[in-house]
Each structure stands twice: as C-alpha cells, then as structure tokens.
Amino acid sequence: MSDENRILESAYALHVSEHFRRASEELLHAYQRNKEASRHHEAGAFKAALHHVKMSKHHAFNAHEHLKDALLISEKMGQMDVPVGVRGGLSSGSAIQ
C-alpha cells in the first residue's frame, strides 16, 4: 500500500468515525425527546408531547443520514483495498451478520 493510500485511508477513517459520533449524539437526543414526549403524554400535555415526538423524529432522521454516509464511505474504502477482479461482490467471509 502506498503512502498516499494510507493517508487517504486514514482520512476516510476519521471521516467515518465523525459520522458515527454524530449519529450516536443524534440517537441520544432522539431518545431524550421521546422520553419527554412520554412524560408529557402521561401528564395530558398532548401539544407538548407532539412537539417532542416531532423533534425525536427529526433527530432519528439525522442519525440515519449520518449512518448512511458512514456506510457509503466505508464501502468506498473497501473497494480501494480489493483487487479489480474481485470488486463484483462480497466474499463469503466479509458479509455482515
């Protein structure tokens, strides 16, 4: 592997880890908003509960987008390492379980 490829792979890895970090933050916010929605719903404050549910949905969507981006980058990184003749599909040992 050339030095250029190692530098590129390192940059991709940092970028992917940033997407994972942001996704986890968004999921935490979604969870917190969902808990608030439940509390408001139980108290009969349905308008407040609706607001928190909408915010939870927004955070969950953002997390989904970060995970999609991380997956896309990871797939591109995987294609860089694989020889040209093997790029057509996954080997039996690399499938996600």
Q: 52-75 pLDDT, tens per residue?
A: 999 999 999 999 999 999 999 999
Stated as kind and residue range, the H or E segment containing 69 is helix 46-81
pLDDT at residue 46 above 80? yes
Going from N- to C-terminal start, the domains of the chain cover 3-81
User: How far apart are the C-alpha atoms of 8 and 28, rounded to whole Å?
Assistant: 30
Question: Please, are residues 66 and 19 in contact by the beta-carbon 8 Å criterion?
Answer: yes
Q: What is the pTM of this model?
A: 0.75
pLDDT at 1: 56
Confidence of residue 82 (pLDDT cuts 50, 70, 90): low
pLDDT at 34: 98
More confident residue, 76 or 27: 27
Residues in the chain: 97
Reduced to 3 states (helix: H, G, I; strand: E, B; else coil), residue 9 is helix
